[in-house]
């Protein structure tokens, strides 16, 4: 594509110029599961991704207002996966040992959801506070005895907590910071609330993994940023902080945990420079690499549609497994509706009995899934493949086949 033909915008972190490299078209809210009555008022926006020429941050070209996404009925419950329950219990124990052993330590979580991580901190008797604006998931955490404030974390709310509770030793967020376009306000809030020697730690899907696996379904309304070590280091420096550690994580298809401290307070580990060097060698934020990714995305759409059309022509019964937010991008970009996939099963009661965003596949309880009901299962929750395939062994044994589309379309 020529420079003039590429769409451009303004970077939400540094005001630099962003250049678009992938257009995923008109998309719905990825976590809005609909009743028949909702169909006429469904919200859509334009999903396209660009990269900042100045700070290398990869980001959406259009932001969805936060209240459209995070509200009373937000249906994602973090405790829904056994793998993630273990991941967060281990993460909390790591903080308890390394950072929270002082006499009156204070742990703050941004996007604490149903309390999957805070529960371990609370059990250890350490002072904690969650910020969680989505009503029902926050209520689930409070029902477990956890302390949760029902607000968005930002500069103003951070100032209030600093005044009432004092400085935090650790401010942590999983799968939340990449959801927040207004990162300047987040860093100003962290600056207010974090103790002088404290750390701000967040983990989110990693741009390097998304490119390597062509996991373009990681791109949806809630995922506004696609972080790399280089872009996070630049962002931290811009706001007076420093990236002092990175750790790659296997969860959710590949993430990185970034540890940030006030500039000059902690010595950066070798892992930071190593990951940045790896990214530079792979051209992670270069337009050439990003446009190659976009080409592969189009290839996956072509291959998946060809397979689904063939299975339909052969009279096979095809369903999907896991009504993930990610699958909204895949289904809407490829045009996968009930003509190609009859329904999708999911363990989340708040999603069951509803229709998926945009292409309106009916969501049924996971208990309805079996080889009696389907010949093929499109694994929307591919990031939980191990856990799901382990508990659905009968499906495969009875001749059922899984359809995967990461890193390419294949059967298992
Ligand atoms: N941390 C959990 C996990 O990793 O499973 C939840 C992740 S969920 C994808 C993102 C959560 O962040 C939602 O529960 C949403 O309500 C919350 N959230 C979004 N913006 C926020 C903000 N500014 N402050 C606090 N929470 C926020
Ligand atoms: P996630 O990929 O964003 O974590 O979403 C996973 C979705 O898949 C969530 O709606 C719960 C659902 N799910 C199942 O239905 N069965 C399972 O075994 C697992 C792990 C998840
Ligand atoms: Zn920028």
pLDDT tens by residue, 323-360? 999 999 999 999 999 999 999 999 999 999 999 999 99
Residue 137 has pLDDT above 90, yes or no: yes
Give the model's pLDDT for residue 6: 83
- Top pLDDT among 373 and 277 is at 277
Give me ligand 3 centre to Cα 235, in Å.
8
Residues flanking ion ligand 3, Cβ below 5 Å: 11, 13-14, 16, 52, 54-55, 57
Following DSSP, what letter does each residue of 352-398 receive, concatenated?
TTSB-TTT-PBEEEGGG-STTT-SEEEETTGGGHHHHHHHTHHHHHT
Q: Would you say the CATH fold of 289-411 matches that of 78-288?
A: yes
Mean pLDDT of the 147-151 span: 98
Give the model's pLDDT for residue 2: 65
Number of CB atoms found within 10 A of residue 330's CB = 26
Give the model's pLDDT for residue 317: 97
The residue contributing the CA closest to ligand 1 atom 10 is 176
Residue 109 has pLDDT above 70, yes or no: yes
Mean pLDDT of the 2-28 span: 92
Give me ligand 2 centre to Cα 83, in Å.
10
Query: Could you tell me the strand order of the sheet in which 410-411 lies?
Result: 363-365, 344-346, 318-321, 376-379, 401-404, 410-411
- Tens of pLDDT, residue by residue over 33-88, are 999 999 999 999 999 999 999 999 999 999 999 999 999 999 999 999 999 999 99
The residue contributing the CA closest to ligand 1 atom 21 is 152
- How much of the chain exceeds pLDDT 90, in percent? 97
H or E stretch including 304?
helix 287-313
Give me ligand 3 centre to Cα 258, in Å.
18
Give the model's pLDDT for residue 42: 98
The pTM assigned to this predicted structure is 0.96
Query: Can you tell me the distance from the alpha carbon of 168 to that of 155, in angstroms, rounded to the nearest whole number?
Result: 14
Give the model's pLDDT for residue 371: 82
CATH of domain 78-288: 3.40.50.150
Question: Is the shortest distance between the CB of 187 and ligand 1 below 6 Å?
Answer: no
Half-sphere exposure of 317 (CA within 13 A, CB side): 11
> What residue ranges do the domains of the chain occupy?
78-288, 289-411
Number of CB atoms found within 10 A of residue 152's CB = 21
Q: Which two tokens stand for residue 274?
A: 């190593």
- Top pLDDT among 191 and 370 is at 191
Superfamily of domain 289-411: NAD(P)-binding Rossmann-like Domain (3.40.50.720)
Ligand 2 pocket: which residues have CB below 6 Å?
A: 80-81, 322-325, 346-348, 351, 366, 381, 383-384, 387-388
Count the residues in the chain: 412
Phi/psi class of residue 37: alpha, beta or left (left: φ > 0; alpha: ψ in -120 to 50)? alpha
The residue contributing the CA closest to ligand 1 atom 17 is 111
State the average pLDDT for the chain: 97
* 121 closest CA partner among 70, 178, 168, 191: 168
């Amino acid at each position: 594509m020529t420079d003039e033909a590429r769409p451009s915008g303004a970077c939400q972190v540094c005001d630099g110029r962003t250049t678009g490299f992938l257009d995923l078209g008109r998309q719905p809210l990825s976590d809005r599961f609909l009743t028949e009555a909702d169909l006429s008022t469904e919200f859509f926006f334009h999903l396209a991704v660009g990269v900042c020429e100045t700070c290398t941050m990869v980001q959406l070209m259009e932001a969805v207002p936060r209240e459209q996404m995070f509200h009373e009925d937000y249906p994602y419950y973090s405790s829904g996966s056994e793998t993630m329950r273990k991941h967060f219990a281990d993460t909390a124990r790591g903080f308890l040992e390394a950072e929270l052993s002082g006499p009156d330590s204070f742990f703050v979580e941004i996007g604490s959801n149903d309390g999957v991580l805070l529960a371990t901190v609370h059990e250890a008797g350490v002072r904690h506070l969650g910020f969680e604006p989505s009503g029902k998931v926050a209520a689930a955490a409070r029902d477990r005895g956890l302390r949760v404030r029902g607000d968005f974390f930002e500069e103003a709310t951070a100032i209030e907590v600093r005044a009432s509770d004092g400085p935090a030793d650790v401010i942590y967020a999983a799968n939340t910071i990449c959801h927040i376009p207004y990162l300047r306000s987040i860093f100003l809030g962290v600056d207010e609330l974090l103790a002088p020697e404290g750390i701000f730690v967040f983990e989110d899907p990693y741009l390097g993994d998304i490119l390597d696996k062509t996991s373009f379904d990681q791109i949806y309304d809630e995922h506004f940023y696609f972080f790399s070590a280089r872009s996070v280091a630049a962002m931290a420096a811009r706001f007076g902080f420093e990236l002092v550690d990175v750790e790659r994580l296997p969860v959710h298809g590949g993430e990185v945990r970034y540890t940030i401290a006030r500039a000059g307070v902690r010595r950066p580990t070798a892992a930071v420079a190593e990951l940045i060097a790896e990214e530079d060698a792979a051209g992670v934020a270069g337009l050439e690499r990003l446009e190659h990714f976009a080409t592969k995305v189009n290839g996956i759409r072509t291959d998946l549609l060809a397979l689904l059309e063939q299975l339909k022509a052969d009279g096979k019964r095809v369903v999907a497994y896991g009504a993930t937010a990610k699958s909204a991008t895949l289904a809407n970009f490829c045009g996968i509706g009930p003509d190609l996939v009859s329904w999708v099963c999911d363990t989340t009661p708040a999603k069951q009995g509803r229709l998926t965003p945009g292409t309106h596949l009916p969501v049924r309880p996971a208990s309805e899934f079996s080889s009696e009901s389907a010949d093929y299962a499109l694994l929307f929750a591919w990031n939980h493949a191990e856990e799901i395939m382990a508990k659905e062994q009968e499906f495969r044994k009875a001749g059922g086949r899984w359809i995967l589309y990461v890193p390419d379309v294949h059967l298992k």
